[in-house]
Structure 1
Amino acid sequence: MRINKLSNIIEKGCGAIFGSSNIFYFTGYNGAGVLLYCDGVATLLAPLLEENRALETKGVDVKIYYPTKVSEDIQYTSIIDAIEKITSRNSIFADISSLDASTYLRLSSKFELKDISSQISALRSIKDLEELDIIKKSGEITSVAMRIAIDKATEQVNEKQLSGLIDYTMKTEGAEDYAFPSIVASGENSSEPHHIPTDRVIKEGDSVVIDIGAKYQGYCFDSTRTLLVKKFSNDLKKIYEIVLEAQLEAIDAVSDGIKASEIDRIARNVIEKNGFGKYFVHSTGHGVGIDVHESPYISFNSNDVLKKNMVITVEPGIYIKGKYGVRIEDTMIVTSGKPEVLETAYKLL
Structure 2
Amino acid sequence: MSRLKKLEAIFEDKKINCGIILGSPNLFYFLEYSGAGALVYCDSKFTLVVPALEMYRAGDVKSVDVVVYYPSKIADNVIEGNLFKALEKIVKSEYVGVDVNWNDANTFRFLSEKYKIIDISTEISKMRSIKDDEELDRIRRAGEITATAIKMAMEKLDNNVNEKQIAGIIDMTMKTVGAEDYAFPSIVAFGENTAYPHHIPTDRYLKEGDVVLFDVGAKYKGYCFDSTRTYVFNNEAKKIYEIVLQAQLEAIDYVRDGVYASEVDGVARKVIEKAGYGKYFIHSTGHGVGIEIHESPTISMNSKDILRENMVITIEPGIYLKGRFGVRIEDTLIVTKNKPIVLETTYKLM
Superposed counterparts of 1:324-335, under 5 Å: 324-335=325-336
CA deviations 1:239-274 (Å, max 9, x no partner) are 011001100110111111111001100000000000
Give distance in 2, aligned partners of 1:156 and 1:262.
Answer: 44
Q: Residue 180 of structure 1 corresponds to which residue in structure 2? A: 184
Number of residue pairs the alignment of both structures matches:
346
Letter in 1 for 2:260: K
CA deviations 1:284-341 (Å, max 9, x no partner) are 0000000000000000000001000000000000000111000000000001111110
Runs of 4+ in 1 over 6 A off after TM superposition: none
Give distance in 2, aligned partners of 1:152 and 1:40.
Answer: 56
Superposed counterparts of 1:95-244, under 5 Å: 95-228=99-232, 230=233, 232=234, 234-244=235-245
Give distance in 2, aligned partners of 1:67 and 1:223.
Answer: 44
Partner secondary structure for residue 10 of structure 1: helix
Tell whether 2:319 aligns with 1:318.
Answer: yes
Give distance in 2, aligned partners of 1:205 and 1:58.
Answer: 56
Specify whether residues 296 and 128 from structure 1 end up closer, same or farther in structure 2 by C-alpha distance, changes over 3 A only: same
Give distance in 1, aligned partners of 2:95 and 2:107.
Answer: 15
Task: Structure 1: give runs of 5+ residues left out of the alignment.
Answer: none
| Percent of pairs with identical residues | 60
Q: Which moved more, 1:80-89 or 1:96-105?
A: 80-89
Offset at residue 155 of structure 1 (A): 4.9
Give distance in 1, aligned partners of 2:68 and 2:242.
Answer: 56
Give distance in 2, aligned partners of 1:208 and 1:339.
Answer: 28
Which of 47, 53, 57 is the aligned partner of 1:53? Answer: 57
Q: Do the aligned partners of 2:159 and 2:205 also contact (CA within 8 Å) in 1?
A: no
Which of 48, 51, 54 is the aligned partner of 1:44? Answer: 48
Q: Do the aligned partners of 1:262 and 1:300 also contact (CA within 8 Å) in 2?
A: yes
Letter in 1 for 2:102: S
Q: Which moved more, 1:144-153 or 1:128-137?
A: 144-153
Q: Do the aligned partners of 1:260 and 1:296 also contact (CA within 8 Å) in 2?
A: yes
Which of 54, 64, 82 is the aligned partner of 1:78? Answer: 82
Q: Do the aligned partners of 1:210 and 1:226 also contact (CA within 8 Å) in 2?
A: yes
Give distance in 2, aligned partners of 1:96 and 1:217.
Answer: 26
Offset at residue 147 of structure 1 (A): 1.2
CA deviations 1:88-109 (Å, max 9, x no partner) are 2112111111111111111211
Give distance in 2, aligned partners of 1:314 and 1:154.
Answer: 29
Partner secondary structure for residue 83 of structure 1: helix
Partner secondary structure for residue 325 of structure 1: strand
Q: Residue 255 of structure 2 corresponds to which residue in structure 1? A: 254
Tell whether 2:273 aligns with 1:272.
Answer: yes
Taking only aligned residues, the RMSD between alpha carbons, in angstroms, comes to 1.1
Offset at residue 70 of structure 1 (A): 2.0
Q: Which moved more, 1:50-59 or 1:152-161?
A: 152-161
Name the TM-score, length of structure 2 as normaliser.
0.97
Q: Residue 2 of structure 1 corresponds to which residue in structure 2? A: 3
Q: Do the aligned partners of 1:308 and 1:334 also contact (CA within 8 Å) in 2?
A: yes
Give distance in 2, aligned partners of 1:120 and 1:59.
Answer: 19
